[in-house]
Structure 1
Amino acid sequence: MNRNILRSILIISYMIIIAVIIGGISSLYSYLNTGADRATILHTEIQKIDQYIPDVYWAPLYNEGRPMDQETLERIENNYLDAWYVKQIAYKTNTTSGIEDYYTENARKNLYNTIAHNTEEGIVVEATTLEHHPTLEFFSEDGQLVVITDYDVVEYKRLYKDEVLILETTETATYKIVLLLEDGFWRIRHMVKEHQEVYTEKERFDTLKDISVKGINYYPQATPWDMFGDGFDPEILSKDFQIIKDAGLESIRIFVQYDDFGKANVQEDKLQKLKQTLDLAERHNLKVMVTLFDFYGDYAVLDWTLNRRHAATIVSSLKEHPALYAWDIKNEPNLDFESRGEKQVTAWLQMMTSFVKNTDPDHPVTIGWSNAESAIILKDHVDFVSFHFYEDLDTLEDVYLYLNEEIPTKPIVLSEFGMSSYKGIWNPFGNSENDQATYHKEIQGIIAKHKIPSMSWTLYDFVEIPKEVVGRLPWQKNNQKQFGFINQKGDEKAAFKYIFKE
């Protein structure tokens, strides 16, 4: 019996050892196959997520050599753009990671030399391309080589030396490119710049001489800063728009949040809700100023192509809508100057303003600055100047006259103003509803005197304020809740009769 038990133990042990060996061999085989996966070796994961999507406009295909099919052309385009992206990462970080995957051995030499030089000199280059206009010149009969001429490549560059900005420029250039197919992957063999000049913005309609705005900044009471979420209710919007129209106002200002709408890949359901909002506004004879990029705060050069794709989708979808009045590129971008740098923010604003103008040449474009001091920035790039005012009311008239003197050729719009009626435990010396009413009576007098186009903040008092708006501090959140003309119960406050003055 002991002998049989021993024999059984030996057999079971043998089986376990064999199973462990087989499992080890299988794991090793899987590991080696994973390591050999071309997607990992060549870093083609860059292609699987949107990191770099400049506008590409191919010329009609009349190339010499072998006919080009659409699938191959798309693969060439993807690899070509990835090569640009990898080069820009390399020049920004002064590292060579990924270059060998997108450039042949011969083409790498110049890149490596440039990176070595920049590292030694303390030079960093931040750059991106915004437009490409490639023409396929030649496709070899064996399908291994292509020659492309990329015309009017719009390039933005920012050059730093020892962390100090010494050059900022936008250029157009023409490149001649040779790509080789290696291991099923198109790599750049040669890239030669043939022409270069300073980029100039396209002309657009004449400067606005006048503008009429009598409106209000709008969020639904139950879903502030989440207007296009699950709580979207057309009936509530329709009721609110009727209240606004009956109050004598003619327009609303609404906000599109960059992340919430899907960044570069705008969510179709959000876009449809935005269109439906404009449909309802049209039904109530209200015009709409759409503020883009709300809660966006990066401005990184390498994100510009993603930002443009986001704006292109929204602007192209709405530009024919009869309720659309104007585009506001960004709400209070000057608040990001300290954290992101004024030059970086204003460069992004200038680029995006130009892009939206070119995408929609028929509607005016502005920027919603948080104060009058910043409003003169980029004044020559917008169609009308917008500023917000939450300061001492006694200074408003002087502020407005100052802006008119500084910017005599552009309309000036007061696109946000208001006073909170919060007075409580977190601010015992705050303003009452009567104080708020007095404020609106006085400011409407100034607006009427100088015929200032204006949009107040806001229709409703809110129950909840997201922490992203003013932070977590209770005195800030409670103050923000009570800027409305209608209280949390739905009753008109004393200020409501001063929501507008003829």
Structure 2
Amino acid sequence: MKLNKTLYRALLLSSFLAINGLILFGISSIWSYLNTGADRSTMLHLPEERASNYLPKVDWAPLDHEGRPMEEQTLKEIERDYLRAWQVRNSALETNNTYGVADYYTDSARTKLFRILELNSANNTTIKSTTLRHHPKVEFYSADGKLVVLTDENVERHEHIYSDGKLILSQKSTPSYQIMVILEDGFWRIRHLVETPNENPRNAEQIPPSTASISQIKGVNYYPRTQAWDMFGEQFKDSIIDHDFSIIRSLGLNTVRLFVPYEAFGKVEIDPEKMEQLKRTMHLASKNDLKVMLTLFDFYGEYGIQDWTLTRTHAAQIVNALKDHKALQSWDIKNEPDLDFESRGKEKVLAWLDQMIGTIKQYDNEHPVTIGWSNPEAAINLSKKVDFISFHYYRDPSEFLGSYDALKKKASLKPLVLQEYGYSSYSGIWNGFLGSENDQNDYYKMMDRILVEEHIPRLFWTLYDFGEIPVSVVGRLPWRKAKQRYFGIIDRYGNPKKSYSHFIGDPKK
């Protein structure tokens, strides 16, 4: 009986302690919640993925305004909420949905936007838009710290207008705005947003960069022998690249074309280790008296206007890091973007390329810009926007001059560069036993005879044969992979092929 009473008392005591523990835990949780600020993107209906893909460049004018002095933290909060307002506006125009608009605009400010959405919805019209650059200036800050007047001049805005799902207009504009924002519930919301006449446009004509060095290009598209399409990363070795660059220079060549893969380099946040490896590669090129044509956005294929601020940020980091390097010869925006015309839409691809040319030139107007088209016919696209025209050619040498002359007539006197050409020596079943080292050597003799006579700058593909070709490059079809492995003038074991001797001797070759 005494034992039962003892157990009963112990049970009551433990239950009492457990209940009190739960009560204390609940109180502490409530207290913690009440003292923790809610996540703003959650409160204001801003999806996480949307918050991460809109990063326009913002250049604030020096603070010199009427009213109360502006606090640094307040200015950061205004910038954050102002850009979120733009992002929600862009999303609303794309979907004709008012979701989230009320969180960033007061009643008076959103009335006009709602009318636009209603009209677009009735006409089955949508607008995909983004802004890439803002130049805000504080004009007035009220004494109570709850009202700010801004101007935002020459906003770089891009719009793709669709009707019934079909792109009908792609346009760029640089409007200016007068904005009033007020502090409500701890957030800065737009009360007035008025577009104003653009009295101080910033699109003054720039002096184009010199293309004198382009006519002297004699070079090669380069990857290390064991790192095809994967030059930067854990296998990166300065000694290997230095050795290869010395071989390239000994062949009388003066230029290497290198590739920067967008995703592998970290996309919007550049991988500092890979960036350092790229810089070291540029130093090695300089050491070996070689110039570098740097191809950006390798393996990138989205092009959507919603991501333009991300690709712009990516490009800005690389350009700013390398634009003063003495080895840098030129910027190549993208390799063979015309191959994405069918899957992504030609207008969409060209619009992205067009704005990216402008982006590169905003950060570096000293080095010429080009695009690496997959064939001469495609190279006429955006020919008036680039500083020189680059094209690839893997067809019969006997047809080259006809294609070249046709492009030259349309090229508006722009310099032309044969950015890729070459011949696979693969002789296996997947090539009908047709290739050989002799055929490859004969190909270079025929092509280079034309190129020398016509004084055409060129870069051949490529220095080495490769043991493995990534599926992402040519797919899984064996006849494509096998052929791609044997374009080098040096085999995958480091032995010169017959075509190697073609590049030795006469410096004109």
TM-score by length of 1: 0.92
Aligned residue in 1 for 2:130: 128
Aligned residue in 1 for 2:394: 390
Aligned residue in 1 for 2:57: 55
SS of 2:215's partner is coil
- Mapped contact 1:179–1:189 kept (Cα < 8 A): yes
Q: Deviations over 1:405-429 (max 9, x none)?
A: 2225111100001111222244443
With 79-88 and 491-500 compared, the bigger mean Cα shift is at 491-500
Q: Does 1:231 align with 2:251?
A: no
- Mapped contact 1:170–1:199 kept (Cα < 8 A): no
Q: Does 1:477 align with 2:481?
A: yes
- Which residue identity lines up with residue 446 of structure 1 in the other structure? I
Equivalences for residues 179-190 of structure 1 within 5 A = 179-190=181-192
Aligned residue in 2 for 1:205: 208
Aligned residue in 2 for 1:177: 179
Aligned residue in 2 for 1:193: 195
Q: Does 1:302 align with 2:303?
A: no
- Mapped contact 1:139–1:147 kept (Cα < 8 A): yes
Aligned residue in 1 for 2:491: 487
Change (3 A) 1:15 1:292: same
Aligned residue in 2 for 1:82: 84
- Mapped contact 2:154–2:202 kept (Cα < 8 A): no
With 362-371 and 474-483 compared, the bigger mean Cα shift is at 474-483
Equivalences for residues 425-440 of structure 1 within 5 A = 425-440=429-444
Q: Deviations over 1:56-113 (max 9, x none)?
A: 2221111111111222212211211111111101111112222222222332222222
Aligned residue in 2 for 1:330: 334
Aligned residue in 2 for 1:108: 110
SS of 1:260's partner is coil
What is the rounded CA distance, in whole Å, between the counterparts of 2:416 and 2:348 in structure 1? Answer: 25
Change (3 A) 1:36 1:171: closer
- Mapped contact 2:59–2:135 kept (Cα < 8 A): yes
Q: Does 1:455 align with 2:459?
A: yes
What is the rounded CA distance, in whole Å, between the counterparts of 2:64 and 2:225 in structure 1? Answer: 58
What is the rounded CA distance, in whole Å, between the counterparts of 2:164 and 2:464 in structure 1? Answer: 50
Change (3 A) 1:358 1:6: closer
Equivalences for residues 8-407 of structure 1 within 5 A = 37-43=39-45, 50-196=52-198, 202-205=205-208, 208=211, 211-407=215-411
Aligned residue in 1 for 2:423: 419
- Which residue identity lines up with residue 370 of structure 2 in the other structure? T
What is the rounded CA distance, in whole Å, between the counterparts of 1:25 and 1:69 in structure 2? Answer: 36
What is the rounded CA distance, in whole Å, between the counterparts of 1:42 and 1:137 in structure 2? Answer: 27
- Which residue identity lines up with residue 356 of structure 1 in the other structure? I
Q: CA deviation at 1:273?
A: 1.3
Q: Deviations over 1:421-477 (max 9, x none)?
A: 222244443412222111112111111121110000010111122221112233322
What is the rounded CA distance, in whole Å, between the counterparts of 2:51 and 2:249 in structure 1? Answer: 44
What is the rounded CA distance, in whole Å, between the counterparts of 1:129 and 1:37 in structure 2? Answer: 25
- Which residue identity lines up with residue 203 of structure 1 in the other structure? Q
- Mapped contact 1:385–1:411 kept (Cα < 8 A): yes
SS of 2:398's partner is helix
With 264-273 and 322-331 compared, the bigger mean Cα shift is at 264-273
SS of 2:132's partner is strand
- Mapped contact 1:46–1:82 kept (Cα < 8 A): no
Q: Percent identity?
A: 49
What is the rounded CA distance, in whole Å, between the counterparts of 1:105 and 1:478 in structure 2? Answer: 64
What is the rounded CA distance, in whole Å, between the counterparts of 1:24 and 1:71 in structure 2? Answer: 34
SS of 1:304's partner is helix
What is the rounded CA distance, in whole Å, between the counterparts of 2:346 and 2:11 in structure 1? Answer: 76
What is the rounded CA distance, in whole Å, between the counterparts of 1:498 and 1:145 in structure 2? Answer: 73
SS of 2:138's partner is strand
What is the rounded CA distance, in whole Å, between the counterparts of 1:201 and 1:263 in structure 2? Answer: 30
What is the rounded CA distance, in whole Å, between the counterparts of 1:487 and 1:267 in structure 2? Answer: 32
SS of 1:152's partner is coil
What is the rounded CA distance, in whole Å, between the counterparts of 1:426 and 1:350 in structure 2? Answer: 39
- Which residue identity lines up with residue 310 of structure 1 in the other structure? H
Q: Deviations over 1:271-310 (max 9, x none)?
A: 2211111111111111110011111111111211221111
Q: Deviations over 1:136-182 (max 9, x none)?
A: 10011111111001111121112112123232221111100001112
Q: How many residues align?
A: 502
Change (3 A) 1:315 1:144: same
Gaps of 5+ in 1: none
What is the rounded CA distance, in whole Å, between the counterparts of 1:186 and 1:220 in structure 2? Answer: 53
Q: Does 1:468 align with 2:472?
A: yes
Gaps of 5+ in 2: none
Q: Deviations over 1:21-55 (max 9, x none)?
A: 88788888888999955452125676996422222
What is the rounded CA distance, in whole Å, between the counterparts of 1:430 and 1:8 in structure 2? Answer: 92
What is the rounded CA distance, in whole Å, between the counterparts of 1:302 and 1:386 in structure 2? Answer: 28
SS of 1:119's partner is helix
- Mapped contact 1:202–1:358 kept (Cα < 8 A): no
What is the rounded CA distance, in whole Å, between the counterparts of 1:21 and 1:479 in structure 2? Answer: 72
What is the rounded CA distance, in whole Å, between the counterparts of 1:245 and 1:149 in structure 2? Answer: 54
With 436-445 and 364-373 compared, the bigger mean Cα shift is at 436-445
Change (3 A) 1:496 1:225: same
